[in-house]
Amino acid sequence: MYRKVVVPLDGSELAEEVLPHVVEMIRGRDSRVYLLSVTPMMRGVARPVVDLRPDGEERQRVEQEL
Q: Is residue 18 part of a domain?
A: yes
Provide the number of structural domains found in the chain.
1
Residues 4-55: pLDDT tens digits? 999 999 989 999 999 999 999 999 999 999 999 988 777 776 676 777 777 7
Write down the pLDDT at residue 45.
Answer: 67
Q: Is residue 49 part of a domain?
A: no
Say if residues 40 and 8 touch (Cβ distance below 8 Å): no
On whether the pTM is more than 0.75, the answer is: no
Q: Is residue 8 part of a domain?
A: yes
Q: Is residue 58 part of a domain?
A: no
Q: Which domain holds residue 31?
A: 1-39
Q: Is residue 53 part of a domain?
A: no
Q: Is residue 11 part of a domain?
A: yes
Q: Is residue 65 part of a domain?
A: no
Q: Is the pLDDT of residue 66 over 70?
A: no
Q: Is residue 62 part of a domain?
A: no
DSSP the chain: --SEEEEEE-S-HHHHTTHHHHHHHHTTS--EEEEEE--PPP-S--------S--HHHHHHHHHH-
Q: Is the pLDDT of residue 2 over 90?
A: no
